[in-house]
Chain A
Amino acid sequence: MGLELYLDLLSQPCRAVYIFAKKNRIPFELRAVDLLKGEQVSKHFSKLNSLQKIPTLKDDDFVLTESTAILIYLSQKYHTDDHWYPAELQARARVHEYLGWHADFIRGTFGVMLWTKVLAPLIGTQVPEEKVCRNRTAIDEALDKLNARFLGNKPFLTGQQVTLADLMALEEMMQPFALGLDLYEGRPQLASWHKRVETFLGAELCEEAHRSIMSILEWNASKTIPTPAPEAHPNMLKRLSRIP
Chain B
Amino acid sequence: MAGKPMLHYFNGRGRMESTRWLLAAAGVEFEEKFIETAEDLDKLRNDGSLMFQQVPMVEIDGLKLAQTRAILNYIASKYNLYGKDIKERALIDMYSEGVADLGEMVLLLSITPPGEKEAKIAQIKERTLNRYFPAFEKVLKSHGQDYLVGNKLSRADIHLVELLYYVEELDSSLIANFPLLKALKARVSSFPMVKKFLQPGSQRKPPLDEESLEKARKIFKLK
The interface of chain A, by Cβ under 8 A from chain B, is: 177-182, 207, 211, 214-223
Beyond A207-B176, A223-B190, whether A218 also contacts B144 by CB under 8 A is no
Contact of B179 among A207, A216, A223 (CB under 8 A): A216
Q: Assuming A207-B176, A214-B176, A214-B177, is B141 touching A221 (CB within 8 A)?
A: no
Residue of A nearest to B177 (CB): A214
Q: Check if A222 sits within 8 Å of B179, measured CB to CB.
A: no
The stretch that binds A, out of B62-70, B97-105, B180-188, B207-215, is B180-188
Pull 24 A–B residue pairs with CB atoms less than 8 Å apart, ordered by A: A177-B179, A178-B179, A180-B140, A180-B141, A180-B180, A181-B141, A182-B138, A182-B141, A182-B142, A207-B176, A214-B177, A214-B179, A214-B182, A216-B179, A217-B179, A217-B183, A218-B179, A218-B182, A219-B186, A221-B146, A221-B184, A221-B186, A222-B186, A222-B190
Rounded to whole angstroms, the CA-CA distance of A219 and B189 in the bound complex is: 12
List the B side residues contacting A180 at CB < 8 Å.
140-141, 144, 179-180, 183
Which single member of B138, B141, B176, B187 contacts A222 (CB below 8 Å)?
A: B187
Cβ-closest chain A residue relative to B176? A207
What 6 A-B pairs come out closest when comparing CB atoms? A217-B183, A221-B187, A222-B186, A218-B182, A221-B186, A221-B183
Q: Which residue of A lies closest to B173 (CB)?
A: A207
* Cβ contacts under 8 Å, A178 to chain B: 179
Q: How far is the CA of A216 from the CA of B140 in the complex (A)?
A: 16
Taken together as a complex, chains A and B put the C-alpha atoms of A123 and B206 apart, in Å, by: 40
Q: Shortest Cβ distance from A232 into chain B, in angstroms? A: 24
Besides the known contacts A177-B179, A215-B179, A217-B182, 20 further A-B residue pairs in the complex with CB atoms under 8 A apart: A178-B179, A180-B140, A180-B141, A180-B183, A182-B138, A207-B173, A207-B176, A211-B176, A214-B176, A214-B179, A214-B182, A215-B182, A216-B179, A217-B179, A217-B183, A218-B185, A220-B183, A221-B183, A221-B186, A221-B187
Query: Roughly how many angstroms separate A179 CA and B179 CA in the complex, as a whole number?
Result: 7
Q: For the complex formed, measure the closest distance between the CB of A140 and the CB atoms of chain B, giving whole angstroms.
A: 15
For residue A217, which residues in chain B have a CB less than 8 angstroms away from its CB? Answer: 179-180, 182-183, 186
173-223 of chain B: CB within 8 A of chain A: 173, 176-177, 179-180, 182-187, 189-190
Q: How far is the CA of A211 from the CA of B173 in the complex (A)?
A: 11
User: For residue A223, which residue of chain B has the nearest CB?
Assistant: B190
Minimal Cβ-Cβ distance residue in B for A219: B186
CB atoms of A221 and B179 under 8 A apart: no
Task: Give the CA-CA distance A181 to B138 in the complex, in Å.
Answer: 9
CA of A207 to CA of B140, assembled, Å: 22
Closest to B195 in A: A222
Instruction: Please name all residues of chain A whose beta carbon is closer than 8 Å to the beta carbon of B140 when the two chains form the complex.
Output: 180
Q: Which B residues are CB-close (under 8 A) to A218?
A: 179, 182-183, 185-186
The answer, among B142, B144, B173, B190, for a CB contact under 8 Å with A221, is B190
Which among B182, B184, B189 has the highest number of chain A CB atoms within 10 Å? B182
* B145: nearest chain-A partner, CB-CB: A180
**What's the least CB distance linking B133 to chain A, in Å?**
13
Complex: how many Å from CA A218 to CA B187? 7
Chain A contacts for B144, CB-based, 8 A: 180
Residues on B with beta carbons closer than 8 Å to the beta carbon of A207: 173, 176
Give Cα A178–Cα B173 distance, bound, in whole angstroms.
16
CB distance from A52 to the nearest CB of B (A): 28
Question: What is the chain A residue whose CB lies nearest that of B190?
Answer: A222
| A219→B140 CA distance, assembly (Å) | 17
Report the separation of the CA atoms of residues A181 and B179 in the bound assembly, to the nearest whole angstrom: 10
Query: Could you tell me the distance in whole angstroms from the C-beta of A228 to the nearest C-beta in chain B?
Result: 20
Chain A residues positioned under 8 Å from B146 (CB to CB): 221
Query: For the complex, what is the distance from the CA of A237 to the CA of B190, rounded to whole Å?
Result: 29
B135-151 CB contact bits vs A (8 Å, 1 = yes)?
A: 00010111010100000
Query: For the complex, what is the distance from the CA of A177 to the CA of B182, rounded to whole Å?
Result: 13
